[in-house]
């Protein structure tokens, strides 16, 4: 039986995995989106269902402008590279909130939560990881700080207090690639293995490994490093790296890692870095081989214990949310930690209510936004919006959002004293309303149809035929064009464009369908 990569599509980067008996759990980075750190469950490594988030409360994760340093934009701040581990009945998730310059741990007895409040760590750098050793010691491994020489650093840590029990030590510098990062230390075959990423999370990305008899080294580099890379190849999967190993319950070995699926020439990718899976074998000398001599494919042989053919993720095939539940589904994210007064499922039952904040989508601040990842190149999205703006500048609509300087939207606003439908594009420093038309009805259906190359925007009266209203290229929303580490979202939003809006924007449903 075959499976298809990626096993989790869309913006789900930096995967980390652990196994508990025959259950597998996986987490991803979430950057400036809230809730933080999505967590998935699988029984076969190829079919994954999201079971929640690790960071769901403001006491766990605050993503507001006052906490930031120079990393302000949504794709550069927030939660970087979590690691998930299980030990003696507890799940531990360790990560970095880059905007707050803080590494921390949360724990839970069940992966669905509740997760604890953070235990702040006396630890710098990013990409922290944990090893629970057989002698009871716990090691924290991560990257260098800005003041340290490049390399991977390690110390013993007290998980109850977050304090270090030993000094930080530089244990390996990698194989010469830039940005040695994403480390994981394992104890396998009575050896300590240090797995890291090098080359930067771009087209030179790679995974390298070293081993030692002792946790602090000296480490011997694998003779066939890098053990995973697609640099300078024509593979449809590029930039692969940031891996984590897991031994399956049948004894086989596997790795999860990030990768991208670029389109066009030169390459551009806009879905973000996704989660991929590949088998691992071991040489007689005790070195891992990933996939086919360090390369992987879109279609690969499934684990022997997989009994159910791979199902397209429910969230990426078709989903319609009528907002009838008391809580939001796991697919939804806010831009940063939301203001409680900016949204509601109870004000008008069966509808999502958004109140526009002062911030618009252009600003590095908390705006009224609720969105989900684009997980398919070809897909369509539609919402039914009821919105009657009273004050000039009040606005609500549907956006394709990469970051504050790269987004397209179709929206209803009050412009020059009239209720107006607009289509607008923001590309870097360029900002323009491309289309506008008076619209005097209360309800409107807004739609987006995506292809690999473009997004087409439309509107319709309820039960009416759609009218095309604008178009934008996907390449201008790509990482190569605008930077950052995230992927495209489809989002509902509202804004007062400088003042807090008094008029509610009501969304009856949100529908996502792959094509």
Catalytic residues: 14, 181
Distance separating alpha carbons of residues 382 and 375, to the nearest angstrom: 15
**Chain-centre distance for alpha carbon 171:** 29
Residue 14 zone, left/alpha/beta (φ > 0; ψ -120 to 50; rest) = left
Task: Indicate the pairing of strand 102-108 with strand 119-120.
Answer: antiparallel
Show Cβ contacts of residue 259 under 8 Å, excluding neighbours closer than 6 positions: 5, 6, 230, 237, 238, 239, 240, 241, 273, 274, 276, 296
DSSP-H helix ranges across 277-336: 314-317
Distance separating alpha carbons of residues 197 and 217, to the nearest angstrom: 18
User: What phi and psi values does residue 393 have, to the nearest 5 degrees?
Assistant: 95, -15
Task: Indicate the pairing of strand 274-282 with strand 253-260.
Answer: antiparallel
SS3 content of the chain, % helix, strand, coil (to 5): 5, 50, 50
DSSP letter, residue 157: B
DSSP letter, residue 113: S
Distance separating alpha carbons of residues 432 and 409, to the nearest angstrom: 11
Residue 476 zone, left/alpha/beta (φ > 0; ψ -120 to 50; rest) = alpha
Place of tokens 């235990």: 119
Tokens of 231: 């640099």
Instruction: From residue 287, give the alpha-carbon distance in Å to each of 177, 243, 457, 458, 473.
Output: 20, 15, 51, 54, 44
* 91 three-class SS: strand
Asked if residue 496 lies in contact with residue 394, where contact means CB atoms within 8 angstroms, the answer is yes
Q: Evaluate the CA torsion angle 277, 281, 287, 291 in order and state its sign.
A: negative
Place of tokens 């790509």: 478
Place of tokens 């412009």: 415
User: What phi and psi values does residue 165 have, to the nearest 5 degrees?
Assistant: -100, -15
Show Cβ contacts of residue 134 under 8 Å, excluding neighbours closer than 6 positions: 187
């Amino acid at each position: 039986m075959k499976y298809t990569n990626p096993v989790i599509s869309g913006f789900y980067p930096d995967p980390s995995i652990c196994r508990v008996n025959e259950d597998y759990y996986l987490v991803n980075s979430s950057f400036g989106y809230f809730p933080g750190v999505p967590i998935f469950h699988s029984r076969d490594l190829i079919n994954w269902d999201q079971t929640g988030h690790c960071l769901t409360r403001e006491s766990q994760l605050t993503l507001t402008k006052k906490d930031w340093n120079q990393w302000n934009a949504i794709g550069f701040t927030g939660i970087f590279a979590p690691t998930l581990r299980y030990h003696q009945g507890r799940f531990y998730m360790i990560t970095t909130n880059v905007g707050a310059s803080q590494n921390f741990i949360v724990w839970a007895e069940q992966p669905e939560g509740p997760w604890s409040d953070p235990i702040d760590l006396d630890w710098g750098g990013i990409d922290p990881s944990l090893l629970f050793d057989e002698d009871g010691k716990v090691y924290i491994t991560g990257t260098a700080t800005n003041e340290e020489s490049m390399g991977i650093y390690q110390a013993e840590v007290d998980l109850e207090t977050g304090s270090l029990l030993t000094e930080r030590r530089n244990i390996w510098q990698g194989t010469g690639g830039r940005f040695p990062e994403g480390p994981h230390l394992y104890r396998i075959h009575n050896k300590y293995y240090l797995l890291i990423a090098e080359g930067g999370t771009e087209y030179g990305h790679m995974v390298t490994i070293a081993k030692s008899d002792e946790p602090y080294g000296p480490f011997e580099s694998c003779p066939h490093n890098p053990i995973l890379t697609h640099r300078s190849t024509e593979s449809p999967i590029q930039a692969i790296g940031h891996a984590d190993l897991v031994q399956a319950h049948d004894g086989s070995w596997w790795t999860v890692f990030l990768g991208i699926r670029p389109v066009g020439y030169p390459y551009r990718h806009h879905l973000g870095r996704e989660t991929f899976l590949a088998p691992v074998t071991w040489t007689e000398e005790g070195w891992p081989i990933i996939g086919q001599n360090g390369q992987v494919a879109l279609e690969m042989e499934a684990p022997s214990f997989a009994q159910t053919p791979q199902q397209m993720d429910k969230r990426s095939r078709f989903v319609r949310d009528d907002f009838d539940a008391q809580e939001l589904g796991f697919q939804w994210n806010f831009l940063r930690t939301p203001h409680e007064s900016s949204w509601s499922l109870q004000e008008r039952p069966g509808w999502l209510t958004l109140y526009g904040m002062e911030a618009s989508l252009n600003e590095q601040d908390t705006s009224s936004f609720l969105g989900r990842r684009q997980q398919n190149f070809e897909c369509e999205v539609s919402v039914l919006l009821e919105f009657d703006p009273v004050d000039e500048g009040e606005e609500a609509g549907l956006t394709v959002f990469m970051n504050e300087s790269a987004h397209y939207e179709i929206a209803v606003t009050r412009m020059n004293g009239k209720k107006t439908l607009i289509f607008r594009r923001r590309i870097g420093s360029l900002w323009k309303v491309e289309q506008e038309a008076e619209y005097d009805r209360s309800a409107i259906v807004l739609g987006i149809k995506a292809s690999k190359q473009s997004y087409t925007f439309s509107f319709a009266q309820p039960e009416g035929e759609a009218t095309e209203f604008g178009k934008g290229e996907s390449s201008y929303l790509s990482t190569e064009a605008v930077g950052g580490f995230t992927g495209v979202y489809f989002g509902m939003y509202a804004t007062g464009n400088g003042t807090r809006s008094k008029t509610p924007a009501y969304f009856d449903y949100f529908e996502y369908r792959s094509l």
